[in-house]
Amino acid sequence: MIRKLDGTIPGGLDKMDTSYATTIKKILDRDLHPSDYWPADFRKLRKQDYYQYLDEVNRGKVNGGNYRNKRYYTASENNHLPEAVADSLHLSAVQKNTAVNSFKSLDFEKLGLNKVLLAYCTCAYVTHRDAELRKCHPQTKEDDMDRHFKRVQKSLEISQQEFTKTYGKVQDRLRSK
């Protein structure tokens, strides 16, 4: 289930599972010649651009005109960010699923921290709680730390101090649930 920043369940355009009732994709899959244009009074003159725009409206990515659906993209980011971090850390499918659900349950607005840092710390917490063999707790000596966690921490430019502080906050929030 997707939660908005205020904790309510989204409805309308920001739902991730729209039904795609229209068949715009079939038109997009056809080969439209680059010189296929509409008459001058259309919003998008090039047919390919127009059908691409209609597809984005149908999927809920665009609210009309040039306005992007920010809630849709926020919900999408909240789904994909922890998955990407978990994949780079080589977590098992169960750990990945637990990390994603745990990440979505956090109140980002109250924590006020970087989402990438939160996703990394959530994955570390889930892994530490689940697997004794993979050392990823912030108090672990650097030589004993899991190599995947060290690599990702370095690539995301997360300092040890940030990791320790945020890990504690994530641990506190997830333990109480």
What's the pLDDT tens digit per position in 56-107? Answer: 777 777 776 667 778 878 888 888 999 999 999 999 999 999 999 999 999 8
Tally of structural domains, the chain:
2
Taking all residues of the chain, what is their mean pLDDT, rounded to a whole number? Answer: 79
140 and 61 within one domain: no
Distance of alpha carbon 156 from alpha carbon 79, whole angstroms: 19
Distance of alpha carbon 123 from alpha carbon 6, whole angstroms: 23
> pTM for this structure?
0.68
Range of the domain at 44: 17-68
Give mean pLDDT, residues 120-139: 89
Does the CA dihedral 158-161-162-166 come out positive or negative? positive
Within a domain: residue 9? no
140 and 109 within one domain: yes
CB proximity list for 14: less than 8 A, separation 6 or greater: 2, 4, 60, 69, 71, 72, 74, 75
85 and 62 within one domain: no
**Strand duo 62-64 + 67-68: pairing:** antiparallel
The answer to whether residues 75 and 16 touch, using CB atoms and an 8 Å cutoff, is yes
Distance of alpha carbon 169 from alpha carbon 164, whole angstroms: 9
Within a domain: residue 12? no
Say how many C-beta atoms besides its own lie within 10 A of residue 17's C-beta: 7
98 and 163 within one domain: yes
pLDDT score for 13:
46
